[in-house]
Amino acid sequence: MSFKREILEVGYSVPRFDARAKVTGEEKYAIDHYPENLVWAGVKRGGIAHGLIKGIDASAAEALPGVLAVLTRKDVPGTNRQGIVHKDQPVLAGEKVRHRGDPVTLVLAENREILREALRLIHVDIEPLPAVFNPEEALKLEAPQVHEKGNILLRANVQSGRGGEALDECDVVVEETFEVPFQEHAFIETENGVAWQEPDGKIVMIVSSQAPFRDRFEIGHALGIDSGSIRVISPYLGGGFGGKDGATVQCLLALAAQHAGGRPVKMWWEREESFVAGYKRHGVRMAYKMGAMADGALNALHCRLYYDTGAYAHLGGEVMALGMEHAGGPYRIPNTLIEGWCVYTNNPISGAMRGFGVCQVSFAFERMMDLLAARLGMDPLELRIRNALRRGDKNCAGVVQVHSTGIVQCLETMRRHPLWLERESWKLAASSFKRRGVGIAAVFNAMGYGRGLPDSAIAKVELTQEGKFRVYSGVSDMGQGNASAFFQMAGEILCQDASRMELVQPDTERTHPSGSSSAGRTTYTYGNALIKACEALKEKLLHRAALLLMADEERGMALLPGEVHHLPSGRKVALEVLGRVFPESDRISISQFIMPVTQDKLDTGKEFALGFPHAFFSYAAHLAYVEVDELTGKVDVKDYLAVTEGGRVINPQCFEQQVHGGVAQGIGYALTEQVILERGEIMNPCFTNYILPTALDVPDITSLAVETVEHTGPFGMKGIGEVGFNAPLPAIAGAIEDATGIRLTQAPLSADRVLKFQGESDNAAER
Partner 1 sequence: MKITFVLNGQEMQIDAPPDRKVVDLLREDLGLTGTKEGCGAGECGACTILVDGESRLSCLMLAVQLEGRRIKTIEGLSDAENGALHPVQEAFIEYGAVQCGFCTPGMVLSAVHLLEKNPHPTRDKIRQGLGGNLCRCTGYVKIVDAVEAAARKVERDIPKPVKDGAL
Partner 2 sequence: MRNVLLPRSLSELWDHLRAGSGAAVYAGGTDLLVKMRGGLVIPSLLICLERIEELKGVSEDLGAIRIGAGTTHAELLAHPVIRAHLPVLASALGTLGSPPIRNMGTIGGNICTASPAGDTLPPLHVLNAEVELLTKSGVRRMSVKDFITGPGKTCLQEEEILSAVWIGKPEGHNVHHFEKVGQRNALACAIASFAALLRISAEGIVEKASMAWGSVAPTILTCPEAEKTLVGERISLKRLREAAAIVRNTVRPISDVRADADYRRNVSGNLLLRLMEVQTPDDCARLNQLPA
> Using CA atoms in the order 207, 208, 211, 217, what is the torsion angle rounded to 10 degrees?
-30
Among 102, 245, 656, 737, binds partner 1 (CB under 8 A): 656
- The stretch among 253-261, 436-444, 469-477, 632-640 that binds partner 2 (CB under 8 A) is 632-640
Contact status: 679 vs partner 2 (CB under 8 A) = no
Contact pick of 684, 702, 745, 746 for partner 2 (by CB under 8 A): 684
* Of positions 432, 583, 763, 765, contacts partner 2 by CB under 8 A: 432
**Contacts with 431 (C-beta within 8 Å, 6 or more apart), sequence order:** none
Q: How far is CA 596 from the centre of its chain?
A: 21
Identity (one letter) of the amino acid at 149?
A: K
Pick the closer one to partner 2 by CB: 347 or 672: 672
Are 503 and 430 in contact by the 8 Å Cβ rule? The answer is no
Q: Kindly state whether residue 430 participates in binding partner 2, applying the rule CB under 8 A.
A: no
Residue 433 Cβ vs partner 2, minimum distance, rounded to whole Å? 7
What string marks each residue from 460 to 499 as x (binds partner 1 by CB under 8 A) or -? ------------------xxxx------------------
User: What span, in angstroms and rounded, lies between the C-alpha atoms of 656 and 518?
Assistant: 18
Q: Which of 683, 711, 741, 760 binds partner 2 (CB under 8 A)?
A: 683
422/752 with CB nearer partner 2 = 752
**Residue 688 beta carbon to partner 2: minimum distance, rounded to whole angstroms:** 7
- State yes or no: residue 59 binds partner 2 (CB under 8 A): no
Binding of residue 755 to partner 2 (CB under 8 A): yes
Exposure of 111 by Cβ count < 10 A (0-12 exposed, 13-18 middle, 19+ buried)?
A: exposed
In terms of C-beta density within 10 A (0-12 exposed, 13-18 middle, 19 or more buried), how is residue 630 classed? middle
Q: Which is nearer to partner 1, 582 or 687 (CB)?
A: 687
Report the C-alpha gap between 357 and 461 in whole angstroms: 36
Smallest gap from Cβ 197 to partner 1, in A, equals 23
Find the part of the chain contacting partner 2 (CB under 8 A) among 51-59, 278-286, 471-479, 624-632. 624-632
Per-residue binder mask for partner 1 (CB under 8 A), 494-533, x = binder: ----------------------------------------
Backbone φ, ψ for residue 324 (5° rounding): -65, -35
- From the list partner 1, partner 2, none, pick the one residue 299 interacts with, judged by a Cβ distance below 5 to 8 Å according to partner type: none
360 near partner 1, judged by CB under 8 A: no
Distance, in Å, from the CA atom of 291 to the CA atom of 168, rounded to the nearest integer, reads: 8
| By CB under 8 A, residue 25 contacts partner 1 | yes
Nearer to partner 1, 364 or 701 (CB): 701
Residue 1 one-letter amino acid: M
Residue 663 contacts partner 1 per CB under 8 A: yes
With 0-12 / 13-18 / 19 or more C-beta atoms within 10 angstroms meaning exposed / middle / buried, residue 428 is exposed
CA 70 vs. chain centroid, Å, equals 35
Q: Which of residues 91-130 bind partner 2 (CB under 8 A)?
A: 113
Which of 163, 406, 579, 693 lies at the binding interface for partner 2 (CB under 8 A)?
A: 693
Residue 132: C-alpha distances to residues 97, 137, 282, 561 (Å): 13, 7, 16, 64
Side chain identity at residue 467, one-letter code: G
Orientation angle between helical segments 482-494 and 522-548, nearest 10 degrees: 30
Exposure string for 212-250, b = 16+ CB within 10 A, e = fewer:
bbbbbebbbbbbebebeebbbbbbbbbbbbbbbbbbbbb
Residue 37 as a binder of partner 2 (CB under 8 A): the answer is: no
Does position 63 bind partner 2 by CB under 8 A? Answer: no
Nearer to partner 2, 489 or 744 (CB): 744
**Angle formed by the axes of helices 728-740 and 358-376, to 10°?**
30
Question: Rule CB under 8 A: is residue 147 a binding residue for partner 2?
Answer: no
Peptide bond into 77 cis (omega under 30): no
Q: Among 137, 563, 697, 707, which residue interacts with partner 2 (rule: CB under 8 A)? A: 697
- Could you say whether residue 420 binds partner 1 (CB under 8 A)? no
* 756: contact with partner 2 by CB under 8 A: yes
Interface with partner 1 includes 537 (CB under 8 A)?
A: no
Query: According to the binding rule CB under 8 A, does residue 186 interact with partner 1?
Result: yes
188 is a site residue for partner 2 (CB under 8 A): no
636 binds, among partner 1, partner 2, none (CB under 5 to 8 A by kind): partner 2
Q: Is 36 one of the binding residues for partner 1 (CB under 8 A)?
A: no
Which of the stretches 297-305, 451-459, 501-509, 650-658 binds partner 1 when contact is defined by CB under 8 A?
650-658
Please give the full DSSP string across 65-82, using - where no structure is assigned.
TTEEEEE-GGG--TT-EE
- C-beta closer to partner 2: residue 425 or 432: 432
Find the shortest distance in angstroms from Cβ 235 to partner 1: 11
Q: Are 650 and 686 in contact (CB under 8 A)?
A: no
Query: Which range in 321-329, 545-553, 595-603, 693-701 contacts partner 2 by CB under 8 A?
Result: 693-701
DSSP of 396-437: TTS-B--S---HHHHHHHHHHSHHHHTHHHHHHT--TTEEEE
Q: What angle do CA 471, 477, 481 make, to 5 degrees?
A: 85
Contact between 750 and partner 2 (CB under 8 A)?
Answer: yes
523 within 8 A of 714, measured Cβ to Cβ: yes
Whether the CB-CB separation of 410 and 643 falls below 8 Å is answered with yes
DSSP state of 348: P
C-alpha 141 chain-centroid distance: 34
Helix (H/G/I), strand (E/B), else coil: 176: strand
Q: Is 763 in the site for partner 2 (CB under 8 A)?
A: no
By the rule CB under 8 A, 15 interacts with partner 1: yes
Q: Tell me which residues touch partner 1 (CB under 8 A).
A: 4, 6, 11-16, 18-20, 22-29, 31-32, 34, 185-190, 236-241, 270-271, 413, 478-481, 649, 652-657, 660-665, 686-688, 692, 694-696, 698, 700-707
Q: Tell me which residues touch partner 2 (CB under 8 A).
A: 113, 432-433, 630-634, 636, 672, 676, 683-684, 687-689, 691-697, 750-752, 755-756, 759
